[in-house]
Structure formats: C-alpha cells, structure tokens
Structure 1
Amino acid sequence: MPGRVSTYYQSSKVNPNRPFGARTIDPNTYSSQIYSMDAFKIPPLFQSARNALYTRYSLNDWDNSNHAAYNTSDYLRNGAERLRLDTLRLCKETDARRTQSDVGKKLGERVNDIVFWKNELLHETDEMLAEIAALKEAKRLVEKALPETEDVLSIAQECLYNREKRQGIDLVHDGPETALIDEVSSIRKCQEKLRNVIDKTTAQLNLNRAAQHELEKDSGDKFIAQNLDECAQQLTGSSRGLAYHNGIENIDNTKSVPETWCMFTNNNIKRSQAERAASRHLRNEFNTVLNDCANEMWNQWNLTNQALTDRIKDTLDARNKIQTHLSKVLQEIFDMSKHIELIKKAIQDKENPLQVAQTRLDIRMRRPNVEACRDTAQLRLIDEIDEIYDTLETLQNKLRRAENSMQDLFLIKASLEENLAIKNNTLFIDREKCLAMRKTFPMSPICGVRLRTSSDLLLNK
C-alpha cells in the first residue's frame, strides 16, 4: 500500500492459509486458534504524525472484530460447557455404585425367581414323597392280601380232597362240590388280579421315583444357584476376595434363557403332577380290585358254606330216615324170628296129631275080612291125615318164605347199616372237616368282610 511504512508492515507474519481479502476475523481460521502467537514488533510509543494519518482498521473492522471475539467466546464457552456436561453425564452413567446397585437389583430379582421355583419344587417334592409313601402302603396291603388268599385257596382245595373220601353212593357231584370248584376258580382269578395290580404298582413307583429324582436334582441345582447369586449380590467394593478376571465377559457358558429355564422347571413339576395323578388313580384301582376280590371271595365263601349246610341237612334227613327204617327192619327181624319160631312150633305140634291119626289108621288096617269097612271113620282118618299133610306143607312153605324174608331183612339191614355208615362218614367230612374249618374267613381284616372299611381309610389318606 502506498504511503505506509514498510518497516512496520514487514515485521508481521502472513498466514498463507488465510485469504488476503478477508477483513473480519473468522473464529475457525488458523490464526484465530490459540495454539501459538506469531512474533511481531511493537511500534515505538511515539509515532510520528505521519503514521497517525494512516489508520490500520476501519470502524467496521473494529465492530466485526469485537463481534467475532464475542462469537468465539460464546462458541468456545458453549463447547466447554457441553464437554463438561457430557463428561459429568458419562461419569454418572459409569458410576460404579449406580451400576452395582442396578446389577444387585437384577440379581435380587433373579434370586426371587429362583426362590419361587425352588419352593414350588420343594412343595411338589413333598407331595410326591407323600404319594410314594401312600402307594407303598397300598402295595404293602395288596402284597399282604395276596398270600392270605392262599389260605382261602388251601381250605377250598382241602375241602375238595376231604370230600373225595366220601364212600359209596354219597360220592356224587353235588352242590358243595360245584361251589368249591367255583370258589377255587374265583380265588385264582382274584390272585391274578392282585398280581397284575402289584406289577402296576412297581412300575408306577419307579416312575414316581424318577420324577422325584428330577425334582430333587432341579431343586438342588436351584439351591446352589441361589447361594451363588446371593453371594454375588452381597459383593461390594469393600468385600474380600475381589480380583481381576480378564476376559471373563467373553466366556458364555449359559445353557438356557429365562423362558427355557422356567419351562424346564415347569415341565418337571407337570411331570410330577401327572405321575401323582396316575398314582392316585392306581390307588383307587387298588381299592376297587381289593373290594371286588374280597366281595367275590366272601360271597363265594358264603355260597359254599350254604351249599355245605344244605347238603349236611339233606344228609341228616337221609341218615335219620335210614335210622328209622333200620329200626323198623330190626323190629321186623325180631318179629319175623318169633314168627319163624311159631311156625316151627306149629309144625312140631302137628307131628303128634299126625302120628295119632296114622297110628289109628294103621290099627284099623288090621281089621279082618269084611270088617275092613271103608266107613266114615276110615274116611275121616284119611281126611285128617291129608289135612295134616296139607297144613304141614303150608306151614313148611310159610317157614321157607319167612326164612327167605328173614334173609331179605338181614340184607336190607346190612344195606341200611352200610348206608348209615356212609351217611355218617359224609356228615363227618362235610360238618366236622369241611364246615368246621370254614367257620371263620382265614384272612386279615383288610380283606374279607371289613375290607371296605380299610379301603375307605386308605382312600381318605
């Protein structure tokens, strides 16, 4: 510029990055940045008058410079404030206490979830243990009832074997024998039902124990997880045992997510509930089978006893009739023996009249000549002898018939006595051997008549 002192202006350093035509100060230019200050020469305090005639800036430049300074100050102050606020916010967001508090809250929520499901598992485990105990008790009752049915079976079979010792006509296929055969068949069917129930019980107990094992394993895992999470929740900056574990956040050993974790425990509980329901149904089936078997055996037992009682009554009637007939036969034998003696005496009594008549006739046969007349006396003697012979012949026939009748009476007496012995033997077998051992039902109160009461008690449990 003409008229300017070259010495003053040459001492300044020109920034090539700033355009020469710029008259206002740009806060973004290199020269406005407070990284370094260019060296310049201070003009002397007493300038010459000539220098005063030539000003360096205009009023606009002065105003623009002031405004630029204001703007730069505002800009830098705003930037510093934003940086300060961002730093404070970052410090607050990354505050260890706040982070630990949030993590502790999450851990507490997780511990509450674990405690909830662990309590559910423990409750279900207690229910399963109670169900297993009830099922074992039911199985014990069935296993106790099964060998006791052998006593009933042995009695029925022994009755059949004893009744094979009947004799003669009494060895018949009567009502008691049919009832005993039906009783044996019924008992064997009941034994088969009880064995099937025991087999089902064994299988169900295995399933219940498997479900119990899963519940206990799951609850044990949750107990360990609860202790670990509670330990992690209680850690603070002043806790002992703190250490760096570099890279631990990059290790992922998880095997489930909250949804699958809940589903796993829920499935274990549902499985246990299903097995408990099946177990309760099986115990109800126990009661039904035990009641049916007991009622069936008891009813058949009573039917057999009734058949034996009826048969004993018929045998008693037959024996009493035989005794009556035997008494009559014995009386008839006694009377017939007297009658035979009477006939024999009558025959003996006819000997003397026959001898007299024959002697008379023999004497009269000695009459001489014409005196040997066939007179009425002669005819009467002949008739008398004929009458005596006829009487003797009749008496002899009567004696033979009486003796034959006596033999028949002795035969019927022997037959009646044999039948009486047979009936007594039958009565002894049916009444003393069979019915005597069947007076009491050879089973414990859990079966038989009082089985329903015990089954109801078991069902209430």
Structure 2
Amino acid sequence: MRRARQQKGCTAAVGGTLYSRYSTSDWDSSNKQHFHLSERERNLAERLRNDAYRAVKATDSRTRNRQAANTKRLGDRVHDIHFWKEELNNEIREMENETENLNEHKRILEKALSDTRGPLAIAEECLLQREKRVGIDQVHDDEVDTIKRCQDKMIRLIEKAAIQLKMDRAAQHACEKDSKDKNHAQNLDDRMHQLRNSAAGIGFHPGIENVDNTITIPYSWVKFTQENIARSQKEREISEKLRGEIDALLRQCANEMWSQFNTVNNSFNSRIQETHDAKNKLQAHLQRVNNEIRDVEHAIDLLRKAIHDKEYPMKVAQTRLDERTRRINVELCNDPVMKGLQKEVNEIRESVRMLKEKLRQAENALVRLLKTKATLEEDISVKDNSLYIDSKGCMGLRKNMPMDPKVGPIFNMPLAY
C-alpha cells in the first residue's frame, strides 16, 4: 500500500522530511509523452503547411491557366469577329458598286422611256393625217401599240429596278448593321483581351457569372452573318440579271419600234374591242383590289392592336421575374413560379414575334396591293387614252411611211418614219 502511494505521487513525511512526489519513471514517462505530443503536432502542422503550399500553388496555377485560356479565347474571338467584319465590309463595297450600276441603268431606262414620247407623238400625227383615206386603205397599224407596249415594259422594268434598289439597300443595310455590331463587339472584346490583373477599372461584380443575356451561340452567330452575306450576294445576283434585262429590253424595244414603223395592222376594230374588254376586266380587278385593300387595312389594325395588347402582360410577367430576383438566400429558388413566369415571357415574346411577322406580311401585302392598284389605274388610264386615240382620231386611218424621213437616234440607233 505504501509503495503504491509512492508510485502515484502521494506525499508523506518521515521524521519531518519530505520525499519526492513522483518517481523517476513518472518523470521519464511525462517527458516522453510531451516529446511524442510535440512531434505529432509538428508533423500534423507540417502536413497542413505542405498541403496549404500545394493548395496555394495549385489554385494559383489553375487561376493563371484559366485566365490565360480565356485570354486566348478572347484573342481568337477578336480574330473571328475581324474576319467576318471584313467579309461584311467587302460585301458592302460590292453592293455599293452594284447599287450604283443598277441606279445608272435605271436612269438610262428612264431616259429611254422619255425618248419614246417623241416617236409616239409622230406616230399619232401620222394616224391623224390618214383621216381622209377611204376604202381598203382604212386600216390601222400597231405603231402606237408597239411604242406603248415598250413603254409599259420599260415602266414595269423601272418599277422592278426601283424595288430591286430597295432590296439592295435593305440587304446592304443589314450587312452594315451587322458590321457595326461586330465593330462594337470587336472593340469591346479587344479591350477585354488586353485587360490584365494590374489594369485600372477592374472590380468585383457579384453574381455576374449567373447573368446570361446571350441570344446566340457560335453556330447561330456565324450563320446570321453568313445569311446576311448570302442575302446580299443573292440580291446582287438578281440586280446583275436585272441590268442584263434592261440592256436586252432597250435593244428589243429599239428593234420592235423600228420594225413596227414599217408594219400595217389589219385588226383595228378588234383591237378597240379587245381594249374595251381589257379595260372592263382591269376595272373589275381594280374594284376587287380596292375591296381587298380595305380588308387588309382592317387586318393590320387588328394585328397592331393585338401587339399593343401584349405589352402589359409582358410588363407584368417581367416585373414579377425582376422583383423575384430580389429574394435572398435559400429563397432564391428555381420554383415552378419562376419557370412559369419565364415560360410566360417566352410565350408572349413568341406571340408578339408571330403577330409582328403577320403584321409585316400584311403590310407587305398592302404595299403590293397598293402597287397593284396603281398599276391597274395606270393601265386603265393607258387603255382610256388608247381608246380615245383609236376611236376618236385613229379609226380607219393610217398614213404610209415616207420614203426616207429619218429622225434622231433613240437607244443609239436611227429610227425612220
């Protein structure tokens, strides 16, 4: 019992003298425990320190690599934007040249149309000179008709050229807008490509990584520009063909007018009846076109109202979405409400897009109807004019061509009367 108390450090006195509270083995054991504890904690601290160094090194390397990779991607993106911007600019220059050429051809065609007025006046004067002829000589020729037919062809081609010029300018505008957008994107991405950790103006933008306002992907981005270029190239091709048509029409009209000056037509009365029938049909078509114009205008009003009526539902849905972004912490839940609101916005946007497309189609249809109306009214006016000339001044009258009365050139070739 006494020995046990000595080993456990119990105190005792013998003759008033204190002896040691702990044994030597206790002292050695305590030291060893402290040594082991110190070594274990140092090893643990060393492992933690090594892990920390490795973590610092790994995260620093990963951050640098990620930043370098994105910097390279920005450089590649700038290069891609520059490439397509140059393609657009080249197409814009080509379209500008084509538009200038077509405009010049249109001007020449308008000048040629104006130049037909002189031969037409001479031909009508020739018809008036035959008023006193009788018998078998009471025939008419198609000279006036030929000139008017050429004029109608020229007018239609002038109108076609005017429409094509609008199409060319629209295609060019689309390319110019695309090029302008790419120039803006190139400047922005180029600045971001040059941005470094030491640059001024950088700062924290919490949550920006969750914002996705993109509307295209690389495939659709390239496709959009390719379609703009393809559209411009297609319009240029049509424009070039139209210039060929103008050249061909000028030669055709010159040949027809020249040939018709020497041709006598024996179907004058039939032509008057045919003109009457044509005029009546044109008037009937004009009436139907006027009715259709009223119906289309009503449809356009309905479409515009429908588009306007979608504004407030869109505002409500987007306001709800915007306000719900202000939820905090775990309440920022992608719940059915958010999905429903997003779907609602998309559905309204799709509805507006569809309605706008229908509105565009209806407006285009109205433009075409108005153009058709103008063409019909003009053609009716031409028919009225032809009937007046034929029935009042040209019936049974036709004067033979003089032997050699040449007049000035039209379409760069001499015409004879």
Q: TM-score range by the shorter chain?
A: 0.5 to 0.7
CA change 1:55–1:121 in 2 (3 A) is closer
Match of 1:236 in 2: 196
- 1:163 lines up with 2:130 in the alignment: yes
Match of 1:7 in 2: 6
- 1:133 lines up with 2:100 in the alignment: yes
**Structure 1 Cα separation of the partners of residues 414 and 40 of structure 2:** 110
CA change 1:84–1:5 in 2 (3 A) is farther
CA change 1:256–1:158 in 2 (3 A) is same
Quick one: which amino acid aligns to residue 93 of structure 1?
R
Moved over 6 A (4+): 54-57, 66-76
Q: Is the 8 A contact 2:98 2:236 kept in 1?
A: yes
* Partner deviation per Cα, 1:161-182 (whole Å, 9 max, x = no partner): 223356xxxx5544xx85x713
Quick one: which amino acid aligns to residue 5 of structure 2?
S
CA change 1:157–1:101 in 2 (3 A) is same
- Identity across matched positions, percent: 39
* Partner deviation per Cα, 1:274-333 (whole Å, 9 max, x = no partner): 2112212222222222222111112223558xxxxxxxxxxxxxxxxxxxxxxxxxxxxx
Specify which of 257, 278, 286 is matched with residue 217 of structure 2: 257
- 1:87 lines up with 2:56 in the alignment: yes
CA change 1:210–1:9 in 2 (3 A) is same
Specify which of 82, 85, 88 is matched with residue 115 of structure 1: 82
Match of 2:155 in 1: 195
Match of 1:144 in 2: 111
Structure number with higher relative contact order (C-alpha < 8 Å, ≥ 6 residues apart)? 2
Shift of 1:5: 3.6
- 1:291 lines up with 2:260 in the alignment: no
**Structure 2 Cα separation of the partners of residues 448 and 107 of structure 1:** 66
Which structure 2 residues correspond to residues 388-399 of structure 1 after superposition, within 5 A? Answer: none
Aligned residue for 2:102, secondary structure, equals helix
Quick one: which amino acid aligns to residue 127 of structure 1?
E
* Partner deviation per Cα, 1:410-442 (whole Å, 9 max, x = no partner): xxxxxxxxxxxxxxxxxxx979xx527831355
Structure with higher Rg: it is 1
- 1:282 lines up with 2:249 in the alignment: no
Quick one: which amino acid aligns to residue 216 of structure 1?
E
Quick one: which amino acid aligns to residue 200 of structure 2?
R
Shift of 1:268: 1.1
Q: Is the 8 A contact 1:163 1:430 kept in 2?
A: yes
Gaps of 5+ in 1: 12-42, 305-428, 450-461
**Structure 2 Cα separation of the partners of residues 82 and 246 of structure 1:** 29
CA change 1:438–1:157 in 2 (3 A) is farther
Task: State the Cα RMSD in Å.
Answer: 3.9
Per the normalisation by structure 1, the TM-score is 0.50
Shift of 1:74: 7.1
Specify which of 261, 268, 271 is matched with residue 301 of structure 1: 261
Match of 2:187 in 1: 227
**Structure 2 Cα separation of the partners of residues 437 and 131 of structure 1:** 42
**Structure 2 Cα separation of the partners of residues 159 and 253 of structure 1:** 74
Aligned residue for 2:200, secondary structure, equals coil
Q: Is the 8 A contact 1:149 1:191 kept in 2?
A: yes
Aligned residue for 1:181, secondary structure, equals coil
Shift of 1:73: 7.9
Specify which of 49, 54, 73 is matched with residue 106 of structure 1: 73
Quick one: which amino acid aligns to residue 105 of structure 1?
K
**Structure 2 Cα separation of the partners of residues 232 and 295 of structure 1:** 65
**Structure 2 Cα separation of the partners of residues 163 and 242 of structure 1:** 92
Which structure 2 residues correspond to residues 175-194 of structure 1 after superposition, within 5 A? Answer: 181-194=141-154
Shift of 1:216: 0.8
Quick one: which amino acid aligns to residue 72 of structure 2?
K
* Partner deviation per Cα, 1:351-371 (whole Å, 9 max, x = no partner): xxxxxxxxxxxxxxxxxxxxx
* Partner deviation per Cα, 1:85-109 (whole Å, 9 max, x = no partner): 23321232234xx554333222111
**Structure 1 Cα separation of the partners of residues 103 and 184 of structure 2:** 31
Quick one: which amino acid aligns to residue 62 of structure 2?
E
Q: Is the 8 A contact 2:250 2:411 kept in 1?
A: no
Shift of 1:245: 3.3
Quick one: which amino acid aligns to residue 83 of structure 2?
F
CA change 1:286–1:190 in 2 (3 A) is same
**Structure 2 Cα separation of the partners of residues 7 and 145 of structure 1:** 135
Q: Is the 8 A contact 1:201 1:282 kept in 2?
A: yes
**Structure 2 Cα separation of the partners of residues 80 and 200 of structure 1:** 81
**Structure 2 Cα separation of the partners of residues 257 and 122 of structure 1:** 23
Shift of 1:4: 5.0
Q: Is the 8 A contact 1:194 1:289 kept in 2?
A: yes
